[in-house]
């Protein structure tokens, strides 16, 4: 298992977290090894066909992926029972566990249980969820994920109407002097990564832009260069 210590310590950096949603899951250890040099985390989309209209990994399968991954795993839980499941992902070795604000019931208890099991705590907002709903919890987070598509599928278009939310989130994070990652997920390409970065994001999930390109490593290098300007 990868060492989870020290992650997210350097806020001057930008983070690139490729999403393996639209790849061949039978080859995940190899795919992860291939992108390792150009990635910070691997983003794992867990869907239960209830919170979103799509299904991906069971917990058992995710556990196996986490144990074999040579990159730290950024687990994005799009499930209806994060209070029960998120601590299990932390215990299984995920570096960060992100739960949807719309699905969490006991926020304080769940984030505490993620943390005591050794993972960083993330909270995600669907496009229609207002930023104001998460502001009281910001000081307790390591990562705030602003979805830039409706969760459920890779390959959708970046929702420009979320840019104002990214900008407002950056403003609140600075105002409170917090060291949390501001992650964007959905439709990130060589064009949209710049828009998200300029609005204040510093952690970028990209699926199709990376894995449907001819050379995923080269694409990751280009994305990093664009987001670093």
Applying CB under 5 A, does 76 fall inside the site for Zn ion? yes
- Mark whether 38 is an active-site residue: no
Applying CB under 5 A, does 74 fall inside the site for Zn ion? no
Q: What are phi and psi of 204, to 5 degrees?
A: -125, 125
Residue 154 binds which of Zn ion, ligand DX5, none (CB < 5-8 A, kind-dependent): ligand DX5
Judged by CB under 6 A, the residue of 15, 16, 35, 45 near ligand DX5 is: 45
Residue 48 binds which of ligand DX5, Zn ion, none (CB < 5-8 A, kind-dependent): none
CA distance 26 to 209: 20
Residue with the shortest CB distance to ligand DX5: 207
Judged by CB under 5 A, the residue of 173, 185, 188, 216 near Zn ion is: 185
Judged by CB under 6 A, the residue of 134, 149, 180, 182 near ligand DX5 is: 149
DSSP 147-188: ESS-TT-SSPPP-GGGHHHHHHHHHHHHHTT---EEEEESS-
Residue 82 binds which of Zn ion, ligand DX5, none (CB < 5-8 A, kind-dependent): none
> With respect to ligand DX5, which residue has the nearer C-beta, 110 or 219?
219
- Mark whether 133 is an active-site residue: no
CB within 8 Å of 65: residues ≥ 6 apart: 28, 44, 57, 73
Structure tokens at 129: 């969820």
CB within 8 Å of 228: residues ≥ 6 apart: 14
Q: Pick out residues in 156-175 that bind ligand DX5 (CB under 6 A).
A: 156
Structure tokens at 183: 């992650």
**CB-based burial label for 90 (10 Å; 0-12, 13-18, 19+):** buried
Stretch binding ligand DX5 (CB under 6 A), from 32-40, 94-102, 175-183, 201-209: 201-209
Q: Which residues bind ligand DX5 (CB under 6 A)?
A: 19, 21, 43, 45, 76, 149, 151-156, 185-188, 205-209
Q: List residues with catalytic annotation.
A: 45, 185
């Amino acid at each position: 298992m990868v060492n989870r210590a020290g992650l997210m310590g350097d806020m001057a950096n930008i983070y690139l977290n490729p999403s393996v949603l639209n790849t061949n899951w039978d080859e995940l250890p190899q795919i992860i090894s291939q992108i390792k040099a150009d990635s910070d985390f691997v983003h794992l989309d867990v869907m239960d066909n209830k919170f979103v209209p799509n299904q991906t990994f069971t917990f058992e399968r995710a556990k196996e992926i986490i144990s074999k991954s040579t990159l730290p795993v950024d687990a994005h839980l799009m499930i209806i029972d994060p209070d029960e499941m998120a601590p299990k992902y932390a215990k299984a070795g995920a570096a960060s566990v992100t739960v949807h604000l719309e699905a969490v019931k006991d926020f304080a208890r769940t984030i505490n249980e993620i943390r005591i099991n050794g993972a960083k705590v993330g909270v995600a907002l669907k496009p229609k969820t207002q930023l104001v709903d998460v502001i009281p919890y910001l000081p307790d987070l390591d990562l705030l994920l602003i979805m830039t598509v409706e969760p459920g599928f890779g390959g959708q278009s970046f929702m420009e109407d979320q840019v104002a939310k990214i900008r407002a989130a950056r403003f609140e994070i600075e105002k409170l002097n917090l060291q949390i990652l501001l992650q964007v997920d959905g439709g990130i390409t060589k064009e949209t990564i710049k828009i998200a970065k300029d609005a204040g994001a510093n952690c970028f999930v990209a699926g199709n832009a990376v894995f449907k390109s001819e050379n995923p490593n080269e694409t990751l290098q280009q994305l990093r260069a664009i987001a670093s300007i």
